[in-house]
Structures are given as C-alpha cells and as structure tokens.
Structure 1
C-alpha cells in the first residue's frame, strides 16, 4: 500500500457518489459501496507516496521516519484553496485492458492549484504528475471486461445529471497504521481526527482508485 492525500466532497457530493455505489450494487455489480470500512469514503486522490508503506495495517515501516507519510499538519496551507467546485467530465474506465474501474472523471484544470500546493508540500509522489493526473471519484471495484459495459449503462445517465462536485475537506491515509487523519475544512482550525480500522482498512485498494 501507499500513503495518500485525498480530497473529500461536501455532503451533497458524498450522497451523490453513494447513490452511484448503491445503483451498481442493486445491479449485482462490484461497487465501492461493498467495502464498509470507515476509510471507504467518496474521495479524490491527489497524491500517493512514491514508495510502498506497508502491505497491511499493523506491519511497521522499515524506517519510522519515512517521508512516505505526510503529517496532516503540514497540509494546512492547502485548506486555503478549499472548497473548490469541480466540473464533472463524465464517466471513464481506468485500469488494464482485462480489468477496469468505472469512475466519475473530474476536470483537472479546476484542481490545478490544489494539486500544485500538495505537490510542493509532499513531493511529486507516484503516478500523479500534473500532465498525466486524472482526478476522479471511484464507483466500482475492478470489473471484468464483460461487466464494464453493464456498469457504464447503470451509472452514465446518473452522472450526466451532476455537472459539478464540490470538494471541501482534506485527509491523509497512513496504511501502516490503518488510519486516516482529517485535516479539516477551510473555515475551521486544523484538527487530526484519527480513524483506525483494523482489518477493514486492509481492503483498501493499492492504487486508491
């Protein structure tokens, strides 16, 4: 697993994504709603560590002072850029040719300032270079090729009715501890709300889709 920094939507955006999850579940398709752990919250991953931190919660890092995990308090400057309303680009499929994850893709230019500020604090990370980053909200788990078309048919009409998602919160994820740190919101003082999950956190996907 890799450590991550994530943006979370407001209540309306969260409810919207959870409706998509429920729609996939009702259709008998693997959705993000299948995972009931507290870390499984609708989110946009804005950064991941360049190195793996741990395979599962409870496995200590080789170097306890590893820069792979960014302390939540270091990210306070990012809060001044939130909230941000981000246009929805549409539905996309990310992954390998034989396996795909259905996502709501968001307009990267709207998040350019946030992405740049996070990178300045945390470093470039892996897979999130500015010219290749595709911000998104994941709807499904990995789907077989024959399931992708069905999943798109379920969620595409719903996504078309939601032109904007507002991102208001910031959190970090430490897989070695199985814990999220909520950095807070723009108008409040910083606080680290720690959410520890035990075994449920181990279900979190490596690529944070």
Structure 2
C-alpha cells in the first residue's frame, strides 16, 4: 500500500476546497466530500513510496514548508474509463524546492511512481475521482464559476501511512 507525503492546507484554503467538494456532492457527483475517513483533507501530494523507514521520515521532517500555496484553474486527468478533476497548484520556487527536498529525502525508498518525481510531477488538489464523460462535463459546468485562483499557505507536512491507516504530522507551520 502506498505511503504518501502531503502538504495540508491552511484553514481558509481548506474550507474553500471543501466548498468545491460540497458543490459536487450536492449535485450527486463523486466528490472527495464523500470520502468520510477522518484523515481525508485537501492536500498536495509531494511524494509516494510503497514503504518508508524511520530514517526517511526523520529526513522528511526537516523539509521546509513553502510560505504560500496558490491554487489555479481546474485540471482534468483522463483515464481509460474515468477522469479526475483537480485544482492545479501553481508551482512556486519554494514549492518546487520542497518537492525536491522530499524527493531527496525519499531517495532509495521502494515503489516510487515516476509521475511523482521532479520533472514529471503535476501538483494538484483533487476534487473528484471516477467521473465518466457525462459526469465530467457536469462537474466542469458546476465548477465553472469557481475563483480562478485561491491563495493560502500549507499548514503541515504529513505522512499518510495507508498500511496502518494513520497520519503522522512531520512538520507544522
């Protein structure tokens, strides 16, 4: 099972993303709002591995947090059978530096997907998954009026351990 390293969002940015989740859920569409796990929160994934040891998580705790997170327009990831709608995260130098530091700290960890590595990573905050073409069109129509940009800050760097179903906060603001 994957181990992820994520930036969570400050209260205002978190609330803005959750409001977008709620718009989709109210229309009967798949939405991250329907994921009722206690650890479910808007976030930006910085790294993924199949396992992380204590030395790696120790190095990750030293990763500096960027001062700001800027969410841009809607981003669609198309799959063979369904799509994901997300908010693009506008990559600042500080965000890219944090991502590179996570990559360096996770060097040697097993099961790291290529799409999370520097030069291949697309920073985003997921709004909805498993949308067929009709639902994708509906979701995009519902979200057409969302602000073009939302600005906030990260609140924490966390490790989601899907094996243990636990979140470990590595660093806070």
TM-score norm. by structure 2 comes to: 0.87
Is structure 2 residue 18 aligned with structure 1 residue 23?
no
Task: State the match for 1:88 in structure 2.
Answer: 71
Give, in angstroms, the shift of residue 29 of structure 1. 0.6
Which of 84, 100, 110 pairs up with 2:83? 100
CA RMSD of aligned residues (A): 1.7
Task: State the match for 2:9 in structure 1.
Answer: 9
Give, in angstroms, the shift of residue 147 of structure 1. 0.6
Task: State the match for 1:132 in structure 2.
Answer: 120
Give, in angstroms, the shift of residue 114 of structure 1. 0.3
More strand per residue: 1 or 2?
2
Deviations 1:109-154 (A, max 9, x none): 4411000111111127212121121111110121111110110111
TM-score norm. by structure 1 comes to: 0.73
Q: Which runs of 4+ in 1 moved over 3 A?
A: 70-73
Matches within 5 A, 1:89-168: 89-110=72-93, 111-123=95-107, 125-126=112-113, 127-160=115-148, 162-168=149-155
Task: State the match for 1:74 in structure 2.
Answer: 59
Q: How many aligned positions are there?
A: 166
